[in-house]
């Protein structure tokens, strides 16, 4: 894909009519649709054009002439510059309302359906919630300065930021300390990123470096780790090169309502918002209406985030996941938590699965699906064959949930209830959950 060419300078006065699914204001000017970052419906703004095509243009707000009543002052000093957040000018309560509207629109427009009932939105904390992230690092020679942070909007540049309000405070409040640490390294120009993994018990930063660290470099990192009470891991190549700078640590999160503690690696996928995750799992189990006779299948199970809590309340649970490493961790976590009524299998759920042992002639009366953004259209069509009567679908993309909802309805399922969950406050990311019965 070619780089965007900067359009000729243009400033316009716009009435914002609605909000796009990326959180941008929508206006019309000279027969063109204008997507305006930082604008809200009902506002009159002055905006600068940033991108132009035949039928639409993009712009950034320069001045709000007539704000809406629900506009608030962003908490972050670099909001509008940093690409990490898009919604800080709207209260958290209004954000989740907007996300609920997006889910309703997706289901109505794509699947031509709405649930029998709508769930109340799940919200926990709006700031300092994010425990997994990738922070870019760059040494800017002209300024003799190291930057640590998220990239700027639509740019490869790193935002010059001293703190991050959505990152967990163990890292979000110490970006300047981390930048100063990297600045003292002999290979500072070869450090490209931090992988952040903040557990309930430890904080790990995995340092991606393109040149070997010297003994002095390792001591600088060790001193920084002690100051911030964190642990550095290093990565010189692929994932197999990840190793602790000093001693390894165990990372955990918990499901206290189900007496489960989950161990994970710093490179594993886990939900970024632990408190919301706990409530999400509780809600999923409530919707499944589990009992001791249930045979449940958990598709895209990861390291068993839903699988193990389900197993506490069902006869037997089967977890299916395409990542072998996550399957190994899921089995380990089952053993560690003394859960014996669960099995895990590795399978690519985007390919043919009819030949697998867990599919041939097997039946499961209940199921949970938690796929990636691309959805699960390949597998939802097979659920009737597996005998599934009750399905909970957890989604991170309303568009693919709506697409898969249509397939489920065609397969005889009914959409009973649905709702949104605020997994990523201050962003346009929408997490949702839906219950289907057949």
The residues that are catalytic are 396
CA dihedral 50, 51, 55, 60 (to 10 degrees): -30
Distance CA 372, CA 322 (A): 12
77 is in an annotated binding site: no
224 is in an annotated binding site: no
What is the CB-side half-sphere exposure of residue 42 using CA atoms within 13 A?
5
CA dihedral 393, 399, 400, 401 (to 10 degrees): 20
246 is in an annotated binding site: no
List own/partner pairs for 220-227 with CB under 8 A and 24 or more apart: 220/181, 220/184, 220/185, 221/181, 221/185, 221/245, 222/246, 224/177, 224/178, 224/181, 227/177
The closest alpha carbon to 240, from 202, 291, 206, belongs to 206
Cβ(72)–Cβ(64) under 8 Å?
no
301 is in an annotated binding site: no
What burial class does residue 363 get, using C-beta atoms within 10 Å of its C-beta: 0-12 exposed, 13-18 middle, 19+ buried? exposed
35 is in an annotated binding site: no
Distance CA 282, CA 53 (A): 46
223 is in an annotated binding site: no
Report in angstroms the alpha-carbon separations of 429 from 81, 86, 376, 398: 18, 10, 18, 10
305 is in an annotated binding site: yes
Report in angstroms the alpha-carbon separations of 146 from 28, 39, 136, 225, 387: 41, 32, 10, 18, 57
271 is in an annotated binding site: yes
3-state secondary structure of 226: helix
* Sequence ranges of the binding site for S-adenosyl-L-methionine: 271, 300, 305, 321, 348, 370
* Sequence ranges of the binding site: 76, 82, 85, 164, 271, 300, 305, 321, 348, 370
* Sequence ranges of the binding site for [4Fe-4S] cluster: 76, 82, 85, 164
């Amino acid at each position: 894909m070619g780089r965007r060419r900067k359009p000729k300078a243009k400033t316009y006065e716009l009435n914002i009519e609605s909000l796009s699914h990326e959180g941008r204001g929508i206006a019309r000017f000279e027969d063109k649709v204008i997507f305006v970052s930082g604008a809200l419906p009902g506002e009159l703004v002055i905006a600068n054009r940033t991108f132009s095509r035949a039928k639409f243009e993009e712009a950034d707000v320069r001045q709000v002439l007539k704000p809406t009543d629900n506009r608030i002052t962003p908490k972050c000093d670099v909001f509008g510059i940093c690409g990490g957040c898009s919604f800080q000018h709207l209260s958290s309560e209004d954000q989740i309302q907007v996300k609920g509207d997006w889910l309703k629109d997706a289901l109505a427009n794509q699947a031509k359906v709405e649930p029998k009932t709508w769930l109340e939105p799940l919200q926990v904390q709006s700031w300092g919630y994010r425990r997994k992230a990738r922070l870019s690092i760059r040494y800017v020679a002209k300024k003799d300065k190291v930057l640590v942070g998220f990239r700027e909007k639509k740019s490869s540049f790193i935002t010059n930021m001293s703190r991050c309000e959505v990152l967990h405070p163990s890292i979000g409040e110490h970006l300047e300390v981390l930048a100063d640490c990297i600045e003292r390294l002999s290979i500072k120009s070869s450090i490209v990123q931090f992988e952040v993994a903040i557990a309930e018990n430890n904080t790990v930063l995995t340092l991606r470096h393109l040149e070997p660290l010297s003994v002095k470099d390792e001591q600088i990192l060790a001193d920084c780790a002690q100051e911030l009470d964190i642990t550095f891991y290093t990565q010189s190549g692929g994932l197999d090169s990840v190793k602790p700078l000093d001693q390894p640590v165990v990372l955990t999160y918990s499901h206290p309502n189900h007496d489960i503690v989950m161990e994970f690696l710093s490179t594993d996928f886990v939900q970024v918002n632990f408190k919301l995750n706990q409530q999400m799992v509780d809600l999923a189990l409530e919707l499944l209406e589990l009992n001791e006779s249930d045979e449940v299948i958990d598709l895209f199970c990861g390291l068993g985030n839903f699988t193990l809590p389900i197993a506490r309340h069902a006869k037997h649970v089967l977890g299916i996941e395409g990542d072998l490493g996550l399957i190994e961790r899921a089995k380990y976590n089952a053993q560690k938590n003394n859960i014996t009524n669960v099995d895990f299998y590795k399978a690519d759920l985007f390919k043919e699965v009819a030949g697998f042992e867990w599919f041939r002639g097997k039946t499961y009366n209940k199921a949970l699906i938690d796929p990636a953004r691309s959805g699960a259209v390949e597998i939802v069509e097979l659920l009737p064959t597996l005998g599934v009567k009750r399905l909970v679908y957890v989604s991170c993309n309303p568009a693919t949930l709506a697409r898969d909802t249509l397939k489920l309805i065609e397969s005889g399922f009914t959409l009973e209830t649905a709702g949104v969950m605020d997994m990523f406050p201050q962003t346009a990311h929408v997490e949702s959950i839906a219950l289907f019965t057949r």
